[in-house]
Amino acid sequence: MKVTLVQGDITGQQVDAIVNAANSSLLGGGGVDGAIHRRGGPDILAACRHLRATTYPDGLPTGQAVATTAGRLPAHSVIHTAGPVYSTKEDRSPLLASCYRESLRVADELAATTVAFPAISTGIYRWPMRNAAHIAISTVRATPSQVHEVRFVLFGAEAYAVFEQVLGA
């Protein structure tokens, strides 16, 4: 598996699957989630509502992942995962690692070979970037999968630089 880094907007990535830093409700939000629904159009929300009405009546548990259509995005699927909110009182790293592992498991189910990830939990959920980068990179490297390329799409020069350092270390 090749791990690559790109600075930019994840919604423009031409990959088999784009991972959404969603929340348990699956019904939208800000950050990456807001951008995906805005640019992908209403089919994604309709698919999420269907999941809430069927498989996940109580919402998607933190650390798990589920796929929908990508609507009008230049990707085949969106994999929604609910990251943990950062806490200084409790170590929620296993849940953040689980987001990456479970997303790759869903990618395998979809037969996706190129997958774009954002830096899950590092925005509204306040996870420190360097620690999040360690968890992200070490988890994808340690997860057996059919995915050929994991592309981390970082939203600014600072986040990109942190991932570059962690990847090179």
Among 15, 35, 47, 96, binds ligand AR6 (CB under 6 A): 35
* Amino acid (1-letter code) at residue 42: P
9 contributes a contact to ligand AR6 by CB under 6 A: yes
* Amino acid (1-letter code) at residue 98: S
Active site residue 16: no
**CB within 8 Å of 53: residues ≥ 6 apart:** none
With residues binned 3-state (H G I as helix, E B as strand, rest as coil), the percentages for the chain, rounded to 5, are 40, 20, 35
Pick between residue 122 and residue 143 the one whose CB is nearest to ligand AR6. 122
Among 56, 117, 125, 152, binds ligand AR6 (CB under 6 A): 125
22 contributes a contact to ligand AR6 by CB under 6 A: yes
**CB within 8 Å of 33: residues ≥ 6 apart:** 20, 21, 22, 23
Q: Residues in the site for ligand AR6, rule: CB under 6 A? A: 9-11, 21-23, 29-33, 35, 83, 118-125, 153, 155, 159
